[in-house]
Amino acid sequence: MARRVALTIPVLLGVATLVFLLIHLIPGDPAQAMLGEAAPQADVDALRAQLKLDRPLLEQYVNFLGALLRGDLGTSLRTRTSVTAQIAERIPATFELAFAAMFVAMMVAVPLGIAAAAWRGSFVDHAAMAVAMGGMAIPNFWLGPLLAIVFAVELGWLPVSGRGGIDHLVLPAVSLGLALAAMLARMTRASLLEELREPYVRAARARGISRARAVIAHAFRNSLIPVVTILGLQFGAVLTGTVITETIFSWPGIGRLLIQSIGFRDYPLVQGCILLIAVTYVAVNLLTDLAYGWLDPRIRYQ
Amino acid sequence: MARSADSLPVTRAGAAIVVVTVLAAVIGPAIVGVDPAFQDLPLRLEGPSPAHWLGLDELGRDIFARLLVGARISLLVGAVVVGTSATIGTLLGSIAGYYGGIVDDVVSRVSDILMAFPGLLLAIAVVAVLGPSLTNVVLALTLIGWVSYARLIRGQVLRVRELEYVQAARALGAATPRILARHIVPATLPALIVQATLGMGGAILAEASLSFLGLGVQPPTPSWGTMLNYGRSHLLDAPHLTIFPGLAIAVLVLGFNFLGDGLRDALDPTMSQGRRG
């Protein structure tokens, strides 16, 4: 377990290095690119000095890492405020959306997967899996607007955009969670079918327990382990999805902040958003791995 | 997961979708004969009609004609990204798997770091600094794309390397590049083909996502994602701007997924379901 934790340190360092290098990937002069072609030379020089872009690369890198350890992500070029503070302000909204989407996904996927496995090969199975296939192919940037057309514009049941009560959360969470739901439903079905072949379930069946009871009372709990793992591993996809969903529904989270700051060429803020999402993703993957070992003692990290 | 013969119609449906889309992209614009750039401004945002099957967009351009040309962009991005990623990934993965040692360490560490980013996020980051364009989208998607091929091929090579026929070739004195090219890489082809087919769907979806965010293909080039982006301003008065491009993306991605899943069942029944999202 300690080994698994230790293995994430070089990965985190790599992530930080890549995010640091982003600014240096900008073609031409980064300071000029941030201010636009028309900016006066004096302003460009001032910004270059402010960002210490005139220092040797290695020195910049060491400073970047040092600041990072202190939780300092620099200053936004546009608002002149701390990047860390701006991001911290947006975190609750993004996590609210991400967790709501994962909740929606589980609520849809588990019943669908169980039904498909319980009536394997039947019409129910085929219909559930066809829905799941479709759900995986539908882009969330299409589903979002479609849901908005139907439920917000035509029916007027839910607000079109913004953050507020639970009613504001429904459409973004559903449009973000559906692709995950589709994947989890397939996973639940496959995992449950595998579990139903296990000797202990067959023994229970041989004692005269109905298939439905075998599914619910015996196989279901164990079959959830891989499903929960996938849920954890897919957290990154959900976080990336928030970039799109937040843009569609004007949801005030990190994703929307990222896209807006790209539009303003506010690169310190872009770096901060990307770093936060990537580090969260690494952390959740680590937690998933550790939880997996805890849930299933057969798998332990030496 | 063993699947019965009923996966065959699904695979065929996938193949049909892909073939029809390719044909539509290649010869469609010539057959339909409508200029996708022609602006009929008085009729802008008009819904579907016999003259314009899928209606007109915000500048009065024929949406059907633009979808056909847009299919070229989608397929082109998919093919170039998958082709380049698979080539780079196969090269690095087979070298890493065969030689092990420091090459393997470097390839594995770099891919660990790239995998630490959610895929689309890294693409967004790269396009954000390089600037939005078709070329940069391809570059960004290839940068993240090669990793999954390298991992796949590395694993396959590790498995194949110890098989008897490879040992025999080595014993007969065959040179290493020859062993890799003639004996090892061909054995990894089935898995590679499956991955590439599914990768087409992934790359097309990723390009559409970036273009939807305004970070991809720039107007006036008609990309399905860009069309959806512009449709967003007209959700209320012209939902057909949103409905048709999205449908095109979903159907084509579904086609590649169907085909990929079917090929997996046919070519490599032992391959796991796991796949990076």
Quick one: average pLDDT of A10-24?
A: 87
- Our CA-based measurement puts residue B197 at a distance from the nearest CA of chain A, in whole angstroms, of 14
Rg over alpha carbons for chain B, rounded to the nearest Å, is 22
Tokens 């790239």, residue?
B114
Burial degree of A60 (CB within 10 A; 0-12, 13-18, 19+):
middle
Query: How far, in Å, are A174, B117, B257 from residue A181 at the CA level?
Result: 9, 22, 17
Quick one: average pLDDT of A93-98?
A: 93
Which residues of A are less than 8 Å from B243 in CB distance? 146
Among the partner residues A12, A138, A237, nearest to B118 by beta-carbon distance: A237
pLDDT digits (tens, 9 = 90+) for B12-40: 889 999 999 999 988 888 787 788 888 87
CB B69 within 8 A of CB B151: no
Query: How far, in Å, are A14, A53, B55, B108, B219 from residue A57 at the CA level?
Result: 16, 8, 54, 26, 37
Q: Where are the alpha helices (DSSP H) in A51-139?
A: 57-69, 83-118, 123-137
Question: What is the distance between the alpha carbons of residues A111 and A117, in angstroms, rounded to a whole number?
Answer: 10
Question: What is the distance between the alpha carbons of residues A128 and B213, in angstroms, rounded to a whole number?
Answer: 31
Between A and B, how many CB-CB pairs are < 8 A? 133
3-state class (DSSP) for residue A82? strand
CB B99 within 8 A of CB A222: no
Q: With pLDDT > 90 as the criterion, what percentage of chain A qualifies?
A: 18
Question: Which amino acid, A157?
Answer: W
Question: What is the distance between the alpha carbons of residues A55 and A60, in angstroms, rounded to a whole number?
Answer: 6
Task: Count CB neighbours of A205 within 10 A.
Answer: 15
Q: Which of A78-82, A152-156, A264-268, B137-141 has the lowest mean pLDDT?
A: A152-156
pLDDT digits (tens, 9 = 90+) for B240-252: 888 899 999 999 9
Q: Do A244 and B209 touch (CB under 8 A)?
A: yes
Among the partner residues B118, B119, B130, nearest to A25 by beta-carbon distance: B130
Which residues of B are less than 8 Å from A23 in CB distance? 129
User: Strand pairing partners for A82?
Assistant: A75
Q: Which helix (DSSP H) or strand (DSSP E) does residue B219 occupy?
A: none
Q: Which of B238, B12, B195 is nearest to B93 (CA)?
A: B195
Q: Give long-range contacts, CB 8 A cutoff, 24+ apart: A164-172.
A: A169/A96, A169/A97, A169/A100, A171/A144, A171/A147, A171/A249, A172/A97, A172/A100, A172/A101, A172/A144, A172/A245, A172/A246, A172/A248, A172/A249, A172/A251
Range 1-40 of A in CB contact (< 8 A) with B: 10-12, 14-15, 17-19, 22-23, 25-27
Which residues of A are less than 8 Å from B125 in CB distance? 19, 22, 270, 274
Q: Quick check: B274 pLDDT over 50?
A: no
Q: Does A53 touch chain B (CB under 8 A)?
A: no
Q: Any idea what the Cα angle at residue A23 is, between residues A20 and A25, rounded to 5°? A: 105
* Range A116-153 burial, b when 16+ CB lie within 10 A, else e: bbbbeeeeebeebbebbbebbbbbbbbbbbbbbbebbe
Mutate to test the interface with A, among B67, B107, B213, B224 (most CBs of A within 10 A): B213
3-state class (DSSP) for residue B56? strand
Written as one string, the DSSP assignment of B168-209 is HHHHTT--HHHIIIIIIHHHHHHHHHHHHHHHHHHHHHHHHH
Which residues of A are less than 8 Å from B5 in CB distance? none
What's the predicted TM-score (pTM) here?
A: 0.86
Length of chain A: 302
* Range B68-103 burial, b when 16+ CB lie within 10 A, else e: bbbbbbbbebbebbbebbbebbbbbbbbbbbeeeee
Contacts of A261 (CB under 8 A, 6+ apart): A76, A78, A267, A269, A270, A273
Rg over alpha carbons for chain A, rounded to the nearest Å, is 24
Among the partner residues A26, A143, A149, nearest to B239 by beta-carbon distance: A149
CB A122 within 8 A of CB A176: no
Quick one: average pLDDT of B168-173?
A: 86
Which tokens go with B126? 């790269």
Question: What is the distance between the alpha carbons of residues A38 and A268, in angstroms, rounded to a whole number?
Answer: 21
Q: Do A239 and B232 touch (CB under 8 A)?
A: no
User: CB-side exposure of B115: number of CA atoms within 13 Å?
Assistant: 20
The per-residue pLDDT for B273 is: 45
| Global ipTM | 0.84
Among the partner residues A11, A148, A248, nearest to B113 by beta-carbon distance: A11
- Give chain B's count of helices (H) and strands (E): 10, 0
Q: Quick check: B269 pLDDT over 70?
A: no
CB B118 within 8 A of CB A277: yes
pLDDT digits (tens, 9 = 90+) for A256-271: 999 999 988 888 899 9
Which tokens go with B263? 């090929």
Q: pLDDT averaged over chain B?
A: 85
pLDDT digits (tens, 9 = 90+) for B187-246: 888 888 889 999 999 999 999 999 999 898 888 888 999 998 888 888 888 888 888 999
Q: Does A186 touch chain B (CB under 8 A)?
A: yes
CB B86 within 8 A of CB B153: no
DSSP state of B232: G
Q: Which residue of B has its CA nearest to A193?
A: B1
